[in-house]
């Protein structure tokens, strides 16, 4: 936006003072290019009209009152949230179920097929579907290679893609 120059007034016209706005509340502070700015809520205006203003444009008493209030807020300890007594046993029960439930080859089930593969903690893992079970488990690939090599070979065979080269087709 370009600033328009105001025409020079004759001496008879009264001089118009710039309008001053009243600060309702200082909401926040930040540092921009080494200068402190404060986020202000203006009296008679909506939250959408809040602005960041440099410290030098503000009343020093207003700034010190905000800083003092901020110091008091930081010194108060955070309130401790209480958990309901019924929630704790449920979470403990869930933890027990997860840790006590056997998974992978410890279930002594026969592997049916490998559903997918992925890396977990830097190790190749297979998602194994078991015969007579609806639950699939992640098992280390190195363990699957030794315990069920035919299932692993079948998985790789399903996914291998041969690309025919033109010179191979000519022969």
The tens digit of pLDDT for each residue in 66-86 reads 888 887 766 555 556 666 555
Q: Report whether pLDDT(97) > 70.
A: no
Strands 137-140 and 123-130: antiparallel
Integer Cα distance of 76 and 73 in angstroms: 6
Of the listed ranges 64-73, 93-102, 109-118, 152-161, the least confidently predicted one is 93-102
Residues linked to residue 139 through DSSP beta bridges, in sequence order: 126
- Residue 143, classed as helix, strand or coil, is helix
d(CA 142, CA 125): 8
Among candidates 28, 29, 21, 63, which has minimal Cα distance to 45? 21
pLDDT value for 69: 84
Please report the pLDDT score of residue 119 as a whole number.
Answer: 87
CB atoms within 10 A of CB 80: 6
150-165 per-position pLDDT tens digit: 999 999 988 888 887 8
Q: According to the model, what pLDDT value does residue 139 have?
A: 92
* Range 86-93 average pLDDT: 54
pLDDT digit string, tens, across residues 1-56: 444 555 555 555 566 666 677 888 889 988 888 888 999 998 889 999 999 999 88
Greater model confidence, 169 or 9? 169
Residues, the chain: 171
Point out the least confidently predicted range of 2-6, 35-39, 93-97, 144-148: 2-6
Q: Which helix or strand (DSSP H or E) is residue 156 part of?
A: helix 149-159
- Bridge pairing between strands 111-120 and 123-130: antiparallel
Residue 82 is predicted with a pLDDT of: 63
Q: Is the pLDDT of residue 128 over 70?
A: yes
Q: What is the pLDDT of residue 111?
A: 94
Q: Quickly list DSSP for 83-138.
A: PPTTHHHHHHHHHHHHHHS--GGGG---EEEEEEEEEETTEEEEEEEETT-S--EE
Query: What pLDDT is attached to residue 164?
Result: 79
Interatomic CA distance for residues 153 and 130, integer angstroms: 16
3-state secondary structure 41-84: EECCCCHHHCEEEEHHHCCHHHHHHHHHHHHHHHHCCCCCCCCC
Q: Give me the chain's average pLDDT, please.
A: 79
């Amino acid at each position: 936006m370009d600033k328009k120059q105001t025409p020079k007034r004759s001496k008879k016209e009264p001089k118009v003072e710039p309008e001053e706005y009243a600060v309702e509340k200082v909401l926040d502070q930040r540092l921009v290019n080494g200068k402190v700015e404060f986020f202000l809520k203006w009296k008679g205006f909506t939250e959408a009209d809040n602005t960041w203003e440099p410290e030098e444009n503000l009343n020093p008493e207003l700034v010190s009152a905000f800083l003092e209030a901020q110091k008091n807020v930081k010194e108060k300890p955070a309130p401790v949230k209480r958990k309901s007594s019924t929630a704790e046993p449920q979470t403990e029960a869930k933890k027990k179920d997860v840790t006590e439930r056997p998974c992978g080859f410890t279930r002594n089930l026969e592997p049916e097929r490998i559903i997918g593969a992925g890396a977990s903690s830097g190790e190749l893992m297979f998602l194994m579907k078991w015969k007579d079970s609806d639950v699939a488990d992640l098992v280390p690939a190195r363990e699957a290679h030794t315990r069920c090599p035919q299932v692993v070979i079948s998985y790789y065979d399903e996914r291998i893609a041969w690309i025919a080269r033109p010179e191979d087709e000519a022969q």
